[in-house]
A and B are shown apart, each in its own frame.
Chain A
Amino acid sequence: GNSVTQMEGPVTLSEEAFLTINCTYTATGYPSLFWYVQYPGEGLQLLLKATKADDKGSNKGFEATYRKETTSFHLEKGSVQVSDSAVYFCARMGSGYNKLIFGAGTRLAVHP
């Protein structure tokens, strides 16, 4: 089927720790891939994107690489801050029209 699977949270880290949030997708073809972040009480913000295989999206110290061999788009950050505490959604573009298919979301909590 067409879906996005994220690692279950919550992920709890100390400040300055390394972050990885796993995301894999199933799809026919090579859809655009996205990471969105949702801070408490807010809407979704586009964090980064990749539109083709081997593309690396990056923003605010976060990175993700489009891996077609493993159908993955894992989110990484070298040193997290308390302000990174939020819910992170991996998403792929649906087929046929501009419909986002989201993963379940991963809650990240960073402690001082």
Chain B
Amino acid sequence: DTEVTQTPKHLVMGMTNKKSLKCEQHMGHRAMYWYKQKAKKPPELMFVYSYEKLSINESVPSRFSPECPNSSLLNLHLHALQPEDSALYLCASSQSTDRAYEQYFGPGTRLTVT
């Protein structure tokens, strides 16, 4: 089973709201990722977690706050977002952050900020 699940599928939020995106995998992977994808563009890496610790933050604004409560779960907390943050947010996982391992993506959460 190579499934990564994400909830919710769609999210509309105002600029003053606080919301969270959730990601789950049961493949025993120890690396998890958040990507942002704008329309007609490739995904852009935001964060990398390795063994439940944040290892990479690609200079993402602090209004995005990741959390990894355990090895299967990854959250992205959102607060005071801007309309330009509207995008498809993709979660991915891999066996580890070793460069030999491929990443498996979830279906994404389509976020609209009004």
Interface residues of A (CB under 8 A from B): 31-32, 34, 36, 42-46, 49, 51, 89, 93-95, 97-100, 102-105
Contacts and interface: CB of A to CB of B under 8 A. Distances in A.
A36 B92 CA distance: 13
Contacts of B105: 36, 43-46
Given A97-B48, A98-B48, A43 B100 contact: no
Interface in B1-21: 2, 4, 6
B45 A100 contact: yes
Interface residues of B, number: 29
A99 B45 contact: yes
A41 to B, nearest CB: 8
A98 B94 contact: yes
Contacts of A89: 42
- Give chain A's interface secondary structure class: loop
Given A97-B55, A97-B97, A98-B48, A46 B43 contact: no
Interface of B: 2, 4, 6, 31, 40-43, 45, 48, 55-56, 88, 90, 92, 94, 96-108
B45 A32 contact: no
A19 to B, nearest CB: 20
Contact of B90 (A34, A44, A51): A44
B102 to A, nearest CB: 6
22 contacts: A31-B99, A42-B108, A43-B90, A43-B106, A44-B90, A44-B105, A46-B102, A46-B105, A89-B42, A93-B99, A94-B99, A97-B55, A98-B48, A98-B96, A98-B98, A98-B99, A98-B103, A99-B45, A100-B43, A103-B42, A104-B42, A105-B42
